[in-house]
Structure 1
C-alpha cells in the first residue's frame, strides 16, 4: 500500500496477555520473545502471560516488554509482505519505529530501552510527580494554563481536546482546578510513576547520553518521522531521544502534518489500539487499521490492502 504510515504505541498500552496468542500461533513472534528474553535476562513470555499488572507496569520492565511485543508483531507483518513509507511512534514507540526502519538493531534498542526505563524510574523517585489528561480544552488553552502554574508542563498533545500534562502533585491539583474552571470536561490522573516528558526527570539525561553514544545508529529506510520535532529525522538519534524525554510528544501535530503531505493510511502495530483511536479523532478522513493480536492480524491479512504477495 502506498502512502502508509506505521505507528507504534508507547507506555500505557501494556496489558497482561499481550502478544501471547501470537506467541502460541506464530514462530516469528516466539523467536522475537526468545531473543528479547535472552538480551534482557528475564522471561518475557512469562511476564506478559502471568503479570501481575503491577509488575508489568513497572516502567523499567514495561518499556522493553512493549518494544519486544511491537517488534514481534512488526516482524510478522514484514514477513507477510508489509511495505510502508513512514514510521512514527508515541514516546517509547519511537524506539520501535527506529527498529522498523533499520536505524537501530533490535538488540541495541532493547538494552537502551531497559536502561531508559531504569533511569526514568530513578529520576521519578528523586523528583516525585505525576501526569493527568485534560479533556475538552484546546491545546493553546492548556498551554496557557500550564504557563500560569509553577511545576506543570504539557507532556502529550494526543488529539483535539486531549492534552496530557506532567508536574508535581500540588501543581497538578492546581492545574486541574483551573482547567475545570476554564471549561474542561474533566481532568483524569494517570496511573504512572513519574512526571514524564517534563523537566522533573532531567536527571535521567546524563546517564542515558552515555548509553546512546554506544549505539550504532544508521540512516532509517523507510523514513522516520519524529513526534518530538514534528519532522523527518535521519541523524542525531541519541540527542533526539534525550530531548524527547523532557519534551512534549506532539502526536496530534505529527498526524496532521503527515496527512497534509498525502499520507492517508495509518496502521498501528503493537498492544492495544490507543493510537488508532487518536488518529480517528485527529483526522476522520484517514484510513486506519491495527495489529495487536491474532484477530486483528487476520483482519489485516484479509483486508488485502496492506500486505503484498511475495
Structure 2
C-alpha cells in the first residue's frame, strides 16, 4: 500500500517548482489568477522574506506540491491514503478531490492572512525541542505560569515543537535544556501556530470555509488533529478548523497508516522534511520524495 504525504510551512525555498514549470504552467497561472500576483515569480525568485510571509508561503507551497502531484499521478501511481503536515493537509485534500485546486488556493491564502493577523508580530514564538519525550515537555509547559506555551507538533520520536507566547517559549527552552534536551532550536516564524492563540483565527476561518463546497474524499485523508482517516466532508471541515489551534500529531498519523498496511510513503513537494521524520518513526518502511523532475525519474526506476 502507498501513501502520498505533503509538506507544510518550513519546507519552502526560493527556486522551488522551477523544474516542473514548463510542464505544469497552467497550475501556476491558475494560482496567479486567484491570488492577483505572479506566484511562479515568487517561488523562483523570491525574495526569501516575501516567500516566507505566511500568507504567501501557504499558497506557494500548495501550488508547487500540486504541480508535482500532477507529475506523479501521470505515472499512474495511485495512493491508498493521503496526509499532509499542517498546511500540507490542504494539498492532501486537493489530491482526494475534497475541493478544487483554485478553491484550495483561496482557502490557504485566507488561512495564512488570518494566522498572520491573529497575534502581533513578536508576541508569539515556536521552538523545536530534540531529545525529550512528550510527557516531559508537557510537564515543562504546564509548569510555566503567567505566560502560555503548549505542544504544537508531535513530529517523531524525540522531536516536538512548542508554541505560545514568546516569553513562555523562551522559558520552556531554558528548562528543556536543563532537563537534558539534546538541542533546542527557535523556529523562524512570526506566528505561534497550532496552539490556543490561534482559536480566534480558527473561528473566523470556519466562517470563511463555510462558503466553499467540500466533497467526500475519494481517498481517505489521515488528519493531523486526531491521526484518523476521514471519509466524509463534514468531518474534514471540522478538523481543518480545529487544526489551527490543535497539535499536529504527525508521528501518530504515520503510525496509523503503517497499521493499515502502508509500506511506501511518497513525499510530494518541496524539501525532504517529512521523509526524514518518517524514517525516524519507522525505519522499515520505504520512503521516497519528489521535489523535482530528477526525483521523479529516480522514483520511476524504483516503483
Q: Which runs of 5+ in 1 are unaligned?
A: 306-310
Determine if the alignment matches structure 1 residue 51 to structure 2 residue 49.
Answer: no
Partner of 1:308: none
Determine if the alignment matches structure 1 residue 71 to structure 2 residue 71.
Answer: no
Determine if the alignment matches structure 1 residue 179 to structure 2 residue 190.
Answer: no
Match of 2:35 among 30, 40, 47: 40
Partner of 1:139: 134
Partner of 1:4: 2
Partner of 2:14: 16
Partner of 2:194: 197
Structure-to-structure mapping, 1:247-258, within 5 angstroms:
247-258=246-257
Q: TM-score, normalised by structure 1?
A: 0.94
Partner of 2:100: 105
Partner of 2:111: 116
Partner of 2:155: 158
Q: Secondary structure at the match of 1:87?
A: strand
* Deviation of 1:159 (Å): 0.7
**Distance in 1 (alpha carbons) for counterparts of 2:237 and 2:253:** 20
**Distance in 1 (alpha carbons) for counterparts of 2:156 and 2:230:** 22
* Deviation of 1:128 (Å): 1.9
RMSD: 1.2
**Alignment length (residue pairs):** 299
* Deviation of 1:80 (Å): 2.2
**Distance in 2 (alpha carbons) for counterparts of 1:242 and 1:105:** 18
**Distance in 1 (alpha carbons) for counterparts of 2:81 and 2:286:** 15
Partner of 1:290: 289
**Distance in 2 (alpha carbons) for counterparts of 1:172 and 1:124:** 15
Residues 23 and 271 (structure 1), Cα distance of their counterparts in 2 relative to 1, 3 Å cut: same
Residues 200 and 126 (structure 1), Cα distance of their counterparts in 2 relative to 1, 3 Å cut: farther
* Deviation of 1:127 (Å): 8.1
Q: Which runs of 5+ in 2 are unaligned?
A: none
- Once the two structures are overlaid, the 10-residue window that deviates more, 166-175 or 282-291, is 166-175
* Deviation of 1:140 (Å): 1.5
- Once the two structures are overlaid, the 10-residue window that deviates more, 294-303 or 264-273, is 294-303
**Distance in 2 (alpha carbons) for counterparts of 1:160 and 1:86:** 22
Q: Which runs of 4+ in 1 moved over 6 A?
A: none
**Distance in 2 (alpha carbons) for counterparts of 1:194 and 1:91:** 14
**Distance in 2 (alpha carbons) for counterparts of 1:62 and 1:205:** 18
**Distance in 2 (alpha carbons) for counterparts of 1:192 and 1:35:** 28
